[in-house]
Amino acid sequence: MNNLCADIGWKSLNHVGEQLCGDHIEIIETGDDSTVCVLADGLGSGVKASILSTLTSKIIATMTSQGIALEECVKTIAATLPICKVREVAYSTFTIIHLIQNEEAEILCYDNPDVIMYRNGKQYDYPFQELNIEGKIIHKARVKIQENDTFIAMSDGCIHAGVGMSLNFGWERKEIAEFMETLTDVGFTAKTLSTVLTDQCLKLYGGNPGDDTTALTVRIRSRQQINLMIGPPSDRNDCDKMVSLFLSKGGKRIVCGGTTSTIVSKYLDKPIIPNINYFDPEIPPTATIEGIDLVTEGVITINRVNEYAKDYLADNESYKQWNYKQDGAAMISRMLFEEATDINFYVGRAVNPAHQNPNLPINFNIKMQLVNELSESLKKMGKNIKVNYF
């Protein structure tokens, strides 16, 4: 057991004109801090490719997570996959990144571009061996993992980006590795790294991907706890209890809400110093309280964070917004999405009479719903969430 954990994120582009992606990602956590990630790329595109890659990745992920040897998995796949009538082969390439007890990574790659690995912000050429299983040549490597190791697996749609259009030979693996190198150690999440890579592919394809294109990133990082307090407690007498619990936990602290920050400021006997710079016209300015890492307005700010979180799990278009902006919502998003692995929410259930005006979109029910939605989204990002109500 160590303090490491994996941040895993991916992004796919569909072959132009197709509704289904022929690449498929399957991730299974096996409990003992081990995770199996599989990226499979089915032959062709559309429905057929999607079925092939889904079957392949499901079979491999399930079998590997049960500790079954790769030879067996490959045999099972060969025996299971439906045979394409046109080409008379059953075919799906795959890449497996198997994280074993957060200590080691086993990388297996069949006919996909080899996994790119970075260590301490530099490309790291790991040694691999060639296996021959049922006539299939598979690259196998095993590396001890360290904090900040980053692995990027790709389907061949990435290296074929721009063939015959913007580039003669496509975007070679070597060039992709150089392109991503500078981005790996600045703290971007796995999802953002994958998105940056596929966005660049989309650009090289001139907006019309000629193949399903997928990037899967695994970042090894240390656990980081963040605490977020929003709303005053329903019983006034619980204020001190709530704040002392909130302050007792390790990690960074965020306070959201005007009344909430007043409670914290009284408890700490430190003044709230508000800011009046509007970095985003819709988001109220932040403030400072000594001892608290970030103080923001409440429900409007959290509403924006919630929107960013939903988008992060879908298209991840808005990372261009929250990744650099200085408003409260973008700062909370960076802390929760990028920095945190474990998040404790301290949610007060007091009803603010001034917010119960039906003309204002900030009433009590909306606030509670926002917190629920946000914590669900954060769970889907792979974070450990605890919500405490007061």
Partner 1 sequence: MKVTVCIGSSCHLKGSRRVVEGLQYLIGENNLKDKVELGGTFCMNNCQNGVCVTVDDKNFSVSPDTVEDFFKTEILAKV
Stretch that binds partner 1, among 9-17, 63-71, 157-165, 293-301 (CB under 8 A): 293-301
* Residues pairing with 215 in the sheet: 11, 154
- Decide: is 354 part of the binding site for partner 1 (CB under 8 A): yes
List of residues 6+ apart from 331 with CB closer than 8 A: 286, 294, 296
Q: Please say which residue, 7 or 297, places its beta carbon nearer to partner 1.
A: 297
Among the listed residues 299, 335, 343, 381, the single contact to partner 1 using CB under 8 A: 299
Element (H, E) at 75: helix 70-80
- Decide: is 328 part of the binding site for partner 1 (CB under 8 A): no
- Decide: is 361 part of the binding site for partner 1 (CB under 8 A): yes
CB 64 within 8 A of CB 94: no
Instruction: Provide the 8-state DSSP code for 354.
Output: G
Q: Please say which residue, 107 or 299, places its beta carbon nearer to partner 1.
A: 299
Q: Please say which residue, 13 or 329, places its beta carbon nearer to partner 1.
A: 329
Q: To 10 degrees, what angle do helices 239-248 and 258-268 make?
A: 80
**Block residue for tokens 């991730």:** 27
How many CB atoms are closer than 10 A to CB 258?
17
List of residues 6+ apart from 58 with CB closer than 8 A: 26
To partner 1, the closest distance from the beta carbon of 257 in angstroms equals: 8
Distances (CA, A) of 329 to 284, 304, 316, 335: 9, 6, 16, 10
Stretch that binds partner 1, among 119-127, 129-137, 170-178, 350-358 (CB under 8 A): 350-358
List of residues 6+ apart from 100 with CB closer than 8 A: 34, 106
- Decide: is 62 part of the binding site for partner 1 (CB under 8 A): no
- Decide: is 285 part of the binding site for partner 1 (CB under 8 A): yes
Stretch that binds partner 1, among 49-57, 159-167, 251-259, 331-339 (CB under 8 A): 251-259
Q: What is the dihedral of CA 64, 70, 72, 75, to 10 degrees?
A: 120
- Decide: is 281 part of the binding site for partner 1 (CB under 8 A): yes
To partner 1, the closest distance from the beta carbon of 294 in angstroms equals: 14
To partner 1, the closest distance from the beta carbon of 376 in angstroms equals: 23
Q: Please say which residue, 362 or 374, places its beta carbon nearer to partner 1.
A: 362
Which residues are at the interface with partner 1 (CB under 8 A)? Answer: 257-259, 261-262, 272, 274-276, 278, 281, 284-285, 287, 297-300, 354-355, 357, 360-362
